[in-house]
Structure 1
Amino acid sequence: MNILDIINKFPNQESCIKFLEEIRWNNKPKCLFCFSEKVNSVLKESRYKCKKCHKSFSVTAQTIFHHTRVPLQKWFILIVLMANAKKKFIIISSFKRLKFTFSNCMKNDA
């Protein structure tokens, strides 16, 4: 897979979220706290709320994407670049080209 494939397959944040939900939960969200499958979708926030324990969660919770401020499409591009990189220099230059820094990847409350 290359960068153009990522851009075409994941044109926006919603398509990235749908992909993560498919691979993580097989499109059947499960509470990350009590593992109940009885959850409600909170569409505005791309989150779910458990009917059993009443906790809220998203598909990115407990993953490398948790608390990120960087769009998921950019993360997916970086992962492809890293997977295809043969040398460390390519990975470092990829971070710079995509303007990734630790501080811009994380929310202030993380």
Structure 2
Amino acid sequence: MNILDFAIIYPDEESCRKKFKEQRDQMGVTCRHCNCKEHYWLENKQAYECKRCHSRQTLRSGTVMRHSNLPYRYWF
């Protein structure tokens, strides 16, 4: 993929975030507190919530991006 294709497919930060969420959902999310693999997505909080213990983790939690303030677009 060249830079022009990238700009068409991912024109903004939101499109990159959505694609990253799709990939994260395919891989699965595991609760870091109770190891449950079932979560709800809280759109208003932009976070996953564990169905068992109700702890929350952001989309970046558990990834190399966890402490980064860089936009998703930089990571793509």
The normalised TM-score by structure 2 is 0.71
Identical-pair percentage: 31
The answer as to whether partners of 1:50 and 1:56 remain within 8 angstroms in 2 is yes
Gap runs ≥5 in structure 2 = none
Query: What are the superposed Cα offsets for residues 34-58 of structure 1, whole Å, 9 maximum, x if unpaired?
Result: 2321x22221232111121221112
RMSD of aligned Cα (Å): 2.2
Higher helix share: 1
Q: Which residue of 2 aligns with 1:19?
A: 19
TM-score, structure 1 normalization: 0.54
| Structure 1 outlier segments of 4+, above 4 Å | none
Gaps of 5+ in 1: 77-110
Which of these two proteins has the greater Rg computed from alpha carbons?
1
Alignment correspondent of 2:36: 35
Judging by fraction of residues, say which structure has more strand.
2
Is the 1:36–1:52 contact (alpha carbons within 8 Å) kept by the matching residues of 2? no
Aligned residues: 74
